[in-house]
Structure 1
Amino acid sequence: MPRHADVLFVTAIALAAVSPASAADRQMISIAPGRLGEAVIALGHQTGASIGISDQSLTALPTPAVHGHLSSEAALKRLLRGTGATLQRIDANSWRVIRRLPKRRPSLAFGPPQPPPAATPPPAEIIVTASKRDLPLPRYPGMVEAIDYGAITSGEAASGTASLLSRVASLSSTHAGPGRNKLFLRAIADSAVAGPTQATTGQYLGDMRLNYAAPDPDLRLYDMQGVEVLEGPQGTLYGAGSLGGIIRMIPNPPNLTRYGGLLSAGFSATQHGDPGGDLSATLNLPIVAERLALRLVGYGVREGGYIDDVQRNRDDVNRTDIYGGRATLRFAPTENWIIDLSGVYQHISGDDAQYADKTAGHLDRASSVAQPYSSDYALANLRVERQWSDLRFISSTGFVRNILSESYDATQPNTPASLFRQHNRVTIFSTENRLVRDLENGLGWILGVSYLESTSTISRSLTSFGMAPVAAQVIPGVPLYGFGMPATTTGVRNRIHEATLFGEASFEPIAGLVATLGGRVTNSRLSGQAIDPISLLSSAEIARAEAAADRNETMFLPSLSLLSDAIPGLTLYARFQQGFRPGGLAVDDQHVLRFSNDRASTLELGIRKGLAGRDPIAISANVAYTDWRDIQADVIDRIGLPATANIGDGRIYTLEGRIAVRPLPGLTLDGSIVYNDSRLSRPTPYVRALAIADQSMTLPNVANLGGRLAIDYRSGISNDISLNLNGSARYVGKSRVGIGPILGRNQGDYFDTAVTASLARGPVQLSLSLSNILDSSGNRFSLGTPFNLRGDYVTPLRPRTLRVGIDFAF
């Protein structure tokens, strides 16, 4: 029979508390109505108490609002009224929440009294909410990286996705600039350029999808409760575009009872470059006590430039400005209902590209024109949650508009300066409605339906800045008018409609063995259309391609996992899952072509011993094999235009390991390593023709070897002053930009280092951080302008940068 939970799955620990309050001390406590798991976390943060829950199913119980000057114990008793749970004291400031046992009739037999259960210290809470079933980490069959709110400093929040790259060894990225990068997990990477293909890594803000056929929007990470990274495929729960995995950012929700906020400011100085800075504000406003509240976040970031253009005699040309905000209105009409209305806006403006040319210098290049870019991102989301004991209904509906404008130097020898512009407008409407039942010890099920509509419209133009029309052509069939007059070139529009039914269930056939079965059925309607086709493209060819792209498909994605935790503290698991991306229409310099679906199937085996943050030593390891069929990739055509094609079949072997050691209560040492072996095992004839006989067919943009070492030290200097020191070093091994002799040049093989010190006293925190301590130039990305693929281009790391910051909470 299934065993009862014998470990605590939820523990709230006040990380910032230097000297925890006594259990009898009265403190100002303010907790909004919600679920028991969230309530004990909030109480732990506010009081410094350690509170464990022995039964996972208790975490979903509804709890009332609690506020006032109360002791931790009194607040806990108020939360537990009517829940069927009770308290068990561990020590002066630690409790366990347990299910209340029914009263039994006195036994008529005589015998010695049974001893009470031994008290054990409560472990740290690690709940994988991105599993959509709130699974405890010991019973999640897969690799997951969970970054909690206390680990993301204001300086890292200002860096956006870059801060995640420095923390998650299996996460990699192109480096074209904020708002233009493609993210990759588990070595599932398609190409270096951003075309009409769907992303291989799904990104979410809460339950709302952020991206589809567009790069990483690179939202700043201010006021986040945490970030979870699940390695893929994640096709059963997240559908198309999650081949490599998903990244889920979890924002802090509005507090229904407490006013408060946070102000942060930072100034940064970059060696060899311009200064920068960041400013943010968070404000929580209860409107109707315990019923209605608004939470506002606003920020502005300037990243100083550090690339010099020697041809135009300009210094530090690649300055980037970012500003945006987020607002969430929460309405809780009863203890069982939560309704959130959220909005996000962010604007990124880059003055110029951030690549250099090694022939000009490690931070220099020679360009005929500036290559600015911009990203406008907006999101609106309505989320509704209804709770019945251990049953939950969640509905999330929203709309995304993402407009990315890019430009590339298209100047050719013996022609005037020319600029190629690409404008990608992506819209996404999505709704997901799911019913979840969380049972004891991570068991339960989920059943859901979803619908998605997405349109990607890519328009292109070519502008010559000569003083007269030019006979030579950069793009066949596209004139060079001169005088800064743009000439339109062929673009493409892709639409997709997806209707999906998905489900997953976990059960325990024997004690210590958990089986999980799942599946996803998706019906996709796809269509493609050429925009402003040039005269060289025949109408008959366009019509045939559009007809081929207009189709209706149904796909089934199964999943299966087995997990054993029969040995206390040790988890073994095996998992099989699939993911896919739908096809569409692409344009190269002389053709309009259809590209087909691709599908990735992954089998992985893993082991996990101990939990980071709880045990003195925590170890996890994973080995995975991925079979990737009909790989979609954004490639470069004969003249440098991004186009999309199926390049063949590939296979990927991945080996990962991580160890976290806590030799002292305030000291944590963390190390991780990732090895990837990826090959295009069966290239298409087109790709085979590009490659020379002895060239490796390694898949692009993911290093063969990567690793990270980190240290974190926290100490209380006095009753109201705390110190935090942390440092990290990350190695990124060699990779290739793409397939073939032109895109086959090496990149990577560098170290990235950073150290941060912060001192907190009451509501004020001062911080000092230094990134790229060694002032290494490295090469993060070897693609410059695609119209000159034979240049010796590199994208150096940001030079050594010092940031001074201050945070003030109120």
Structure 2
Amino acid sequence: MGSDRQAEVSRSAPSWMMLPALLMAAPAVAASAPSVSLQIPAGRLGDAVAALAGQAGVSVSVPDAALWARPVPALNGRMTVRDAVRRLATAAGGRAVALPGDGWRIVAAAPAAAARPAPQRAPAAAPPPAPAPESGSDIIVTASKRDARLGDYPATVNMIDGRDLAFGGEGGTDSILARLASLSSTHLGAGRNKLFIRGIADSSFTGPTQATVGQYFGDVRLSYNAPDPDLKLYDIAQVEVLEGPNGTLYGAGSLGGIIRVVRNAPRPGMLEGALSAGASLTQHGDPGADIGGMINLPMADDNMALRLVGYGVTEGGYIDNPLLDRKNVNRTDTYGGRATLRIAPGDGWTIDIGATYQDIHGADSQYADRDGPRLTRSTRVDQGFDGSYALGDLVVTKDWDDLRLVSSTGIARQKLGERYDATVPDGPADDGTAINRLWPLLAVRVAGVAEGVPMAFTQHNNTRFFSHETRLSRPTRDGFGWVVGASYLDNRAKLRRSLGPDGLAVPLTGVINRIREYTAYGEASVEVLRDLTFTAGGRVTHSRLSGEGVDIALPYLAPENQDEGTALQLAAANARLRAARGETNVSPSLALSAQLMPDLVFFLRYQEGFRPGGLAIEDQFVRRFKGDQVKTWESGFRHGGPGDAFMLATSFSYTRWQDIQADYIDATGLPTTANIGDGRIYSIAANAGWRPFAGLGIDAAIIYNDSKVSDPAPAITLGRLSQLPNVAEWSARGGVDYRAILTDDLDLRVGANLRYVGRSRLGVGPILGEAQGDYVDTALSVRIGRPDLGVTLTLTNLADAVGNRFALGTPFLINRIDQITPLRPRTVRLGLDAHF
């Protein structure tokens, strides 16, 4: 029997009865046993003790129906069962009572209150109030790699509960974007986007450069220089977003920050499952549908469990192409799943073996003509895309009383194929149009192709990625904590391109980049004075880089300069270009945190991050680009934490960015990568939350970014267009979450959010100076039901705004046709979720 159904039975029991919330077949863990790893989301006490019972293998009961419904904060990290039960009891205004046989019961703090029958609740009444939990004491930042308390963590971190991500229907990265003002995306399409945090943005295109944001599935890295795989967030425990460089703990590719998605772990001894399904209608477009499910299967006398997740999503198109007389061309279909096997052989050992797969098919691109009719564009070819992502991972952990060993290994394969309309425009040539600059090269190699003939540019990225890390840590206790580790990764990315009519495509110059990284790192925190903690760390990374050109294209020479021998010599020289070198980077970090008041923390932090270099294609030649580096100073205040009656977090950061790797348009009109110079970024952010009474939460956030290429490279002409791309100067969001108990069998939850994304620019340099952003996105969700069964109605883009999330669809029409990527029009979804 699953936890939610048993929770429902216990909630409705009379106050004089004591029914267990969940009785495990495995022996209960004694209160004096070693600490266990817990991932318990915020919510009602009844749901929390059910999750605790499943994860720790204990029996916990709550006989009071009123106490059962009280809200409690999340519990994340390692702690003893005794501590976990007592923290939940205290947060709910109760007390924990130990029972014979190592069981537990949570009762009201006053004995008289436990003997009273549960009060009758009027419709729409809020849950009974609960005392505010200790600020930061129950919230663990697992992305710190040593389970630091939020109150002790000297940096900016955002934590999103997995249940909140699922509310209104499970999504992908867009679900995280809707909840954070500091996170931005290129919005090119599912599985094709680049993500940026706090103004650290390099370019609009997915090329050979490493990402500026590191993405992790638990302890395993998802990718290196590939785009965001946009995995659907089904059955997720929580998401942690660390802002700013994290070079010491996470190494290369963490210039802007880290996104860490924590999956719900298999639960030995528990049979449970979940199902969600929905149907949607999009105004001006086609309908869509989604379905997903999870089942947790206990195995081998409660020493093993298998957790399976599967899903399929189809999103109706809403862009019309009148030139081809087609409507709603941009349908996107996604399906995928994952499996995790947990083996718990005993003596503190845990082994997790996982497999993840997702496939995305886009029938066409989602951009429109800025000056055309609403949600339309006129192109001559389909611009579909296909992406697939596969990951196999192995995570082994060993726990002692004060130490934890984690060894994680991942093997990933990511493929992305894209098509762009590259039809040669009718009429006189325009040197500012990309295809007119590329046309002479094609004309030499494909005879008989005239203006107006439908042509496509195709690009295929194939990435293979291996990563391994082993670390040993001690959580910060008694004023001291540390982590040491070593890691190795191997990434190989192959980019191939072609251009021409269907069936007559000509290969263009491509490139292969490979990198191997060997690292060692360590970080420690010491309470040097009462309530004053000093943190220092460092990472040494040695990178071995290599690369070469593939499908070398013959360079075009003007008729008066044509010489077959010269052309062949140039092509041969290009083909021989290889890059193989090594570089070593040291990434130090320093931080101070001061507990000014019981619920007020001040922190000051210095951190560095870097990316190694590689090879890129420019004018059909293979060119080298150097690595880049950021150095960031950050300070801030944090009052309270998630779940508190009032929470406020502010931060100010200053970043110097040296040898910025960025994309721009080369002489043939195609994207290329180069070091464009040095830059600086100022960022100011504030995030607040208020709970005026139990059941109602209000939150708001605002961020200001001032970014500039302050010292451009001599070869890059920026003029006044020196703002870094894709990050708005101003972004803000606000949200409201209301929960109430309607009857003994029905709960109500209402959530609404609004997000404003300010103006930004498409890229670096005058050719990519298109404006984008300056739009408002909205959403409203209402759920009615029980914990184990509910119906949800969701509305997105309530104003049916068009907006412009990204000013690019195809680079071949830049300076000829203005392009926009509109918001999905107003969409309504009716969903059903069930748990057992």
TM-score with structure 1 length normalisation?
Answer: 0.86
1:504 positional shift: 0.4
**How far 1:335 moved relative to its partner?**
4.6
1:85 is displaced (CA, Å) by 11
Aligned partner of 1:364 in structure 2 is 376
Alpha-carbon separation, structure 2, partners of 1:408 and 1:91: 56
Cα shift readout 1:596-626 (whole Å, capped 9, x = no counterpart):
0000111001001122312x21111000001
- Report the Cα offset of residue 330 of structure 1: 0.3
1:639 Cα offset (Å): 2.6
Instruction: Answer yes or no: is the 8 Å Cα contact 1:63–1:335 preserved in 2.
Output: no
Confirm or deny that 1:499 pairs with 2:518: yes
Q: Does 1:323 align with 2:335?
A: yes
Letter in 2 for 1:94: G
Structure 1 distance, partners of 2:481, 2:158, is 23
CA contact (8 A) 2:292 2:309 kept: yes
Pick from 225, 246, 260: which aligns with 1:213?
A: 225
Structure 2 equivalent of residue 47 of structure 1: 46
Contact 1:187 1:678 in 2 (8 A): yes
Which residue is equivalent to 1:422? 459
Q: Which amino acid is 1:600 matched to?
A: V
Deviations 1:231-274 (A, max 9, x none): 02011111100000010000000010110100110001000000
The letter of the residue matching 1:383 is V
Shift of 1:762: 4.9
Pair 1:642 & 2:671 matched: yes
- Give, as a single letter, the amino acid of the residue that structure 2 aligns with 1:716: I
**CA–CA distance in structure 1, aligned partners of residues 823 and 160 of structure 2:** 24
Pick the aligned partner of 1:141 from 142, 154, 169.
Answer: 154
Counterparts of 1:147 and 1:427, CA distance in 2: 30
Residue 586 of structure 2 aligns with which residue? 556
Q: Counterparts of 1:131-280 in structure 2 under 5 Å?
A: 131-153=144-166, 155-157=168-170, 159-280=171-292
Report the Cα distance in structure 2 between the residues aligned to 1:342 and 1:97, rounded to whole angstroms.
Answer: 38
Q: Matched residues in 2 for 1:556 and 1:390: separation?
A: 29
SS in 2 for 1:635: strand
The answer to whether residue 831 in structure 2 is matched with residue 805 in structure 1 is: yes
Deviation larger for 781-790 or 248-257: 781-790
Q: Distance in 2 between matches of 1:22 and 1:447?
A: 50
Residue 787 of structure 1: SS of its match in structure 2?
helix
Residue type of the partner of 2:642? Answer: A
Q: Percent same amino acid among aligned pairs?
A: 49
Distance 1:160 1:92 in 2: 33
Matches of 2:48 and 2:814 in 1, distance apart?
59
Contact kept? 1:640, 1:788, Cα under 8 Å: no
- Aligned mates of 1:64, 1:265 — CA distance in 2: 30
Moved more, 81-90 or 269-278: 81-90
Partner of 2:448: none
Give the CA deviation at 1:779.
0.4
Letter in 1 for 2:465: I
* Structure 1 SS opposite 2:193: coil
Contact 1:545–1:585 (8 Å) recurs in 2 = no
Three-state SS of the structure 2 residue aligned to 1:426 is strand
Q: Which residue of 2 aligns with 1:112?
A: none
Q: Decide whether aligned partners of structure 1 residues 91 and 220 sit closer, same or farther in structure 2, where only a CA change above 3 A counts.
A: closer
Aligned to 2:793: 768
Deviation at residue 95 of structure 1 after TM alignment: 3.8
Instruction: Give the aligned partner of residue 432 of structure 2.
Output: none
Distance 1:727 1:83 in 2: 37
2:768 alignment partner, SS class: coil
Q: Which residue in 2 is equivalent to 1:460?
A: 497
Q: How does 1:667-706 map to 2 (within 5 A)?
A: 667-688=696-717, 691-692=718-719, 695-706=720-731
- What secondary structure is seen at the aligned counterpart in 2 of 1:493? strand
Offset, 1:92:
8.6
Matched letter for residue 154 of structure 2: P
- 8 Å contact 2:789–2:835 — kept in the other structure? yes
Query: Residues of 2 paired with 1:84 and 1:530: CA distance?
Result: 59
Work out the CA distance in 1 between the residues paired with 2:13 and 2:361. 45
**Is 1:705–1:732's contact at 8 Å kept on the other side of the alignment?**
yes
Cα 1:630–1:721, aligned 2, differ >3 Å: closer, same or farther? same
Residue identity in the other structure for 2:753:
S
1:123-154 deviation digits (Å, cap 9, x = unpaired): 47321111111111111111111001221225
Amino acid of the structure 2 residue aligned with 1:645: A
CA distance in 2, matches of 1:747, 1:87: 51
Q: 1:16 and 1:208, CA in 2 relative to 1: closer, same or farther beyond 3 A?
A: farther
Q: What displacement does 1:69 show?
A: 7.6
1:661-700 C-alpha deviation (Å, 9 max, x unpaired): 1111110110100000000001112222xx34xx231000
**Amino acid corresponding to residue 633 of structure 2 in structure 1:** L
Partner of 2:399, secondary structure, is strand
TM-score (norm 2): 0.84
| 1:202-601 correspondence runs (5 A) | 202-414=214-426, 415=451, 416-440=453-477, 443-465=480-502, 484-536=503-555, 538-539=570-571, 541-542=573-574, 545-546=577-578, 549-601=579-631
Residue-by-residue CA offset, 1:191-244 (whole Å, 9 max, x unaligned): 111111110001000011112111100000000000010002011111100000
Q: CA deviation at 1:532?
A: 1.1
Tell me if structure 2 keeps the 8 A contact 1:493–1:530: yes
The reply to whether residue 27 of structure 1 matches residue 20 of structure 2 is: yes
Distance in 1 separating the partners of 2:403 and 2:202:
40
User: Separation in 1 of the partners of 2:292 and 2:587?
Assistant: 42
Q: Distance in 1 between matches of 2:804 and 2:835?
A: 39
**What's the offset of the Cα at 1:19?**
8.0
Counterpart residue type for residue 20 of structure 2? Q
Number of residues paired by the alignment?
A: 739
Q: Secondary structure at the match of 1:687?
A: coil
Q: Which amino acid aligns with 1:617?
A: F
Judging changes above 3 Å, is the alpha-carbon distance between structure 1 residues 43 and 316 closer, same or farther for their aligned structure 2 residues?
closer
CA distance in 2, matches of 1:770, 1:573: 39
Residues 85 and 630 from structure 1, CA distance in 2 versus in 1: closer, same or farther, beyond 3 angstroms?
closer
Output the aligned Cα RMSD. Answer: 3.0
Q: Please name the residue that 1:101 is paired with.
A: none
Structure 1 distance, partners of 2:79, 2:142, is 23
The alpha carbon displacement at 1:441 in A equals: 6.0
CA contact (8 A) 1:156 1:221 kept: no
Cα deviations across residues 442-465 of structure 1 (Å, max 9, x unaligned)?
741000000000000001111314
Q: Give the AA of the match of 1:638.
A: A
Question: Residues 85 and 97 of structure 1 are in contact (CA less than 8 Å); yes or no, is this contact kept in structure 2?
Answer: no
Q: Alpha carbons of 1:439 and 1:704: their partners in 2 closer, same or farther (altered >3 Å)? A: closer
Q: Could you say if the C-alpha distance between residues 448 and 492 of structure 1 is closer, same or farther in structure 2, counting changes exceeding 3 Å?
A: same
Counterpart of 2:651, as a letter, is N
Secondary structure of the 1:542 match is: helix
Does the CA-based 8 Å contact 2:393-2:410 persist in structure 1? yes
Task: Note the C-alpha offset of 1:436.
Answer: 0.6
CA contact (8 A) 1:458 1:491 kept: yes
Residue 438 of structure 1 deviates from its aligned partner by 1.2
Amino acid in the other structure paired with 2:734:
L
Task: Give the drift of 1:384.
Answer: 0.2
User: What do the CA deviations read for 1:517-542 (whole angstroms, capped 9, x no partner)?
Assistant: 01000010000110010122725643
Deviation of 1:71 after TM superposition, in Å, equals 7.1
Higher deviation after alignment, 603-612 or 706-715: 603-612
Distance 1:523 1:216, change over 3 A: same
Equivalent residue number for residue 651 of structure 1: 680
User: Would the aligned equivalents of 1:49 and 1:94 in 2 still touch at CA under 8 Å?
Assistant: no
Partner residue in 2 for 1:623: 652
Aligned mates of 1:70, 1:673 — CA distance in 2: 40
What is aligned with 2:57? 65
**Structure 2 CA distance for partners of 1:392 and 1:583, relative to 1, 3 Å:** same
| 1:87–1:584 CA distance, 2 compared to 1 (3 A) | closer
Cα deviation for residue 84 of structure 1 reads 11
